[in-house]
A and B are shown apart, each in its own frame.
Chain A
């Protein structure tokens, strides 16, 4: 199976979907002439032309709304945010227009749109450029939210997102774009709403998504050396969430750690813990622990940033704590 980068996996997904359906177009800052701020759209302008690969001014609120308006009358936009930090300016359109239009119109106007871009912290980008927004987005009925952690999932989920007739949020990661993985050359999609067991184990469930999957894999490797077998549940989709997969895993292991990039308070992990306490109350042998970013704006200094971010060591420690070892 060919091994490609996360970036190319996204690029191939967009290209294939644009070839398949001429209602699909890509719009955002620097997507065309510059070939993408993170080069995800490399080569697409040359292939599809400027009507379908559209550079915008720096106008997040505006072009998010342009996408929604065009989707109301039959197009299928892919809206790229340079990063989700800047999408904050567009949240009115994501929440008040895209997510609610179908309901508010009594079922008359669905919005088949994809909002995508990198989410979460990269390296030393400091407070305004290092934020994980999933809890804000997952909160909204009417949106679907996916957060792939591997090139395979990135391609398969983005293709599903483009084909979905609802608004779908795709959370990527600057730190993921260069990571590599096996991606089949044949056509496939990853259905929205299905978790994937990335490691099988019977000692402790480790539940995560997106970029944190890489952290979780390393933590699982380290724990394996000490004889602790982790059941690594990669949620992949956050709304709808594969609650059955969570429950199945926790009933097997009786212990769980939820790992996420974002802040602790009202994070997506809190929702995961709620599902666990509802459905696995009698199965638990220890309280569920969460590993999150420290409850501070992201600092710049290398050592402080390291201290703020969830990492392998913190994840390993949390798993050991719920195992009551050390």
Chain B
């Protein structure tokens, strides 16, 4: 398909003009301190989520990202402001990495009016138009066609944005995944499908669910560039995603990237950390490669941070999270009169 010559102007086009243009596939030298800060913020934020959940401040399904922070952080760090991010219900970490305010995130979890979806979405449905964060989606596989559609829209408008689509490894067994990636391969759409392979979908190990175990090889079915990377190493993730983003921007090609990681918590807050499907020993083994630790040790070895610096950073981050908590706590519940708002938008017809 040829990109058309369309007069349609995207609201993000303005931002695009200001955004930096990448000239090569190599990622710009990473701001390692920024990556560390972002991951630490996500970690401390979600530790408080667990606390709030236990206190009944947060309800419903709540899936934590703890252990997987390097995946979203590394991937999102190479995006421009006008690019798009879409993901699953395990969305807190990625939303924060994308720049959502911790206040809006915590207020959403508390079901308050100042939440990023005005208290209508909750943990699984974070949305943020300001950062082109296209949501947290709760039907396994359901958002993957949406990402393909975003890629279609980018190509339709003749833009050079990309769409980053995160998903768990269980998604690759759904029809929606297959249908969406086939079209992206067929039409050459600028979408990067990032599979966070944390080895389990709830309690079902990958090997008990997928006919092939090297998930990235699924890309072969769609003639799609593909690869696999260590998901505990934020710099490695960043490098790989940068290549894919470059390919998407300059050649309008999709990529399927498998990021191998592990979740340190239960599937959701209502699930034990280890249990029938995985052992404590296995968990402890994986926890030795905590993504925050991995980066910190590397920075420490390079003299970029020391124990004092780390303690200071941690205190700063904790203060941000505390502020978010207090903000959420003080935020009002959505007025009951607003119940019927936003079912339909007032239309021009």
Give me the interface of A with B, judged by CB distance under 8 Å.
Answer: 22-23, 25, 49-52, 54, 56-57, 59, 61-75, 92-93, 96-97, 101-110, 141-142, 144, 160, 163-166, 189, 191-192
Contact = CB atoms under 8 A, between A and B. Distances in A.
A57 B181 CA distance: 12
B179 A165 contact: no
A59 B117 CA distance: 31
B345 A104 contact: no
B156 A70 contact: yes
Contacts of A70: 149-150, 152-153, 156
A93 B142 contact: yes
A72 B342 contact: no
A45 to B, nearest CB: 12
Contacts of A144: 344
B253 to A, nearest CB: 17
Interface string B1-17: 11110111011000000
Contacts of B125: 104-105
A49 B143 CA distance: 28
Contacts of B348: 163-165
Interface string B105-134: 000000000011111110001011100001
Give the top 10 A-B pairs by smallest Cβ distance, nearest first.
Answer: A69-B149, A65-B145, A62-B179, A106-B118, A69-B146, A106-B117, A105-B127, A66-B149, A70-B153, A110-B345
21 contacts: A22-B8, A50-B1, A52-B156, A63-B145, A65-B148, A66-B145, A66-B148, A70-B153, A73-B134, A96-B142, A102-B342, A103-B343, A105-B121, A106-B115, A106-B117, A107-B118, A107-B341, A107-B345, A108-B127, A109-B135, A163-B348
Contacts of A51: 1-4, 156
B127 A109 contact: yes
A244 to B, nearest CB: 19
Contacts of A50: 1-2
B127 A61 contact: no
B276 interface: no
Contacts of B76: none
B42 to A, nearest CB: 21
B4 A69 contact: no
A109 to B, nearest CB: 6
Q: Which of B127, B151, B156, B180 has the most CB of A within 10 A?
A: B156
A68 B143 CA distance: 10
Contacts of A102: 342-345
A25 B118 CA distance: 32
B116 A106 contact: yes
A69 B146 CA distance: 4
Contacts of A105: 117, 120-121, 125, 127, 129, 135
A326 B179 CA distance: 57
B142 A75 contact: no
B176 interface: yes
A62 B8 CA distance: 25
Contacts of A61: 145, 175-176, 179
Interface residues of B, number: 58
B344 A166 contact: yes
A66 B127 contact: no
B182 interface: yes
Contacts of A75: 152-153, 156
Nearest to A71: B149
B139 interface: yes
Contacts of B341: 107
A106 B119 contact: yes
B349 interface: yes
Contacts of B151: 69
Interface string B142-178: 1111111111111011000000000000000001100
A192 to B, nearest CB: 7
Q: Which of B129, B179, B182 has the most CB of A within 10 A?
A: B179
Given A73-B84, A142-B344, A192 B349 contact: yes
Contact of A65 (B3, B6, B11, B142): B142
B347 interface: yes
B320 interface: no
B183 interface: yes
Q: Which of A54, A65, A102 has the most CB of B within 10 A?
A: A65
Contact of B127 (A59, A96, A104, A192): A104
Q: Which of A68, A92, A106, A192 has the most CB of B within 10 A?
A: A106
Given A22-B6, A69-B145, A104 B152 contact: no
Contact of B182 (A49, A59, A103, A160): A59
A106 B118 CA distance: 5
Nearest to B144: A65
B169 to A, nearest CB: 20
Given A61-B175, A96-B139, A166-B344, A108 B146 contact: no
A68 B117 contact: no
B186 interface: yes
Contacts of A191: 349
Given A96-B139, A102-B344, A57 B183 contact: yes
Q: Which of A75, A108, A141 has the most CB of B within 10 A?
A: A108
Nearest to A96: B139
Nearest to B175: A61
A67 B180 CA distance: 11
Given A57-B182, A102-B345, A73 B10 contact: yes
Contacts of A93: 142, 145
Given A106-B118, A163-B348, A65 B175 contact: no
A12 B156 CA distance: 23
Contact of A107 (B4, B8, B142, B342): B342
A142 B343 CA distance: 5
B7 A22 contact: yes
B179 to A, nearest CB: 3
Contacts of B139: 92, 96
